[in-house]
Amino acid sequence: QSALTQPPSASGSPGQSVTISCTGTSTDVGGYNYVSWYQQHPGKVPKRMIYEVSKRPSGVPDRFSGSKSGSTASLTVSGLQAEDEAEYYCSSHAGGNNPHVVFGGGTKLTVL
């Protein structure tokens, strides 16, 4: 069982928007602004799409946006395109006596 909870699947039609949630606790998502999102196509290396909740690395389209409310972070993909179909993972810093990083279980995004 993953530390962060994501829905196993999400879908939308081309041009639509879809939001993927990532739920943690006060000791990870809720306690720090260190949430990241990764996109992984089959057989490929994960690619970071969002870091520090809402920042986009250079080269990532502004169709991808991130936010957080309490212990739930969200990734929104606007203007869906066929190439957005992939697995998406969230991650967060987790504090306490032994700081570490936790991942969500992943969400398969299907573009209909």
Partner 1 sequence: QVQLQESGPGLVKPSETLSLTCTVSGLSISSDYYWGWVRQPPGKGLEWIGTIHHTGRTFYKPSLNGRVSISVDTSKNQFSLKLTSVTATDTAVYYCVREIASSPDFWGQGTLVTVSS
What is the full DSSP assignment across 24-62? --TTTTTT-S-EEEEEE-TTS--EEEEBTTTB--TT--T
> d(Cα 23, Cα 41) in Å, to the nearest integer?
23
> d(Cα 18, Cα 57) in Å, to the nearest integer?
20
Nearest-approach distance from CB 77 to partner 1, in angstroms:
19
Q: Closer to partner 1 by CB, 16 or 44: give it.
A: 44
Choose which of 24, 32, 74, 86 interacts with partner 1 (CB under 8 A).
Answer: 32
Decide: helix, strand or coil at residue 83. helix
Interaction between residue 57 and partner 1 (CB under 8 A)? yes
Interface segment toward partner 1; rule CB under 8 A; list 14-22, 42-50, 65-73, 78-86: 42-50
User: Under the rule (CB under 8 A), what is the footprint of partner 1?
Assistant: 2, 32, 34, 36, 38, 40, 45-46, 48, 51-52, 57, 89, 91-93, 98-106
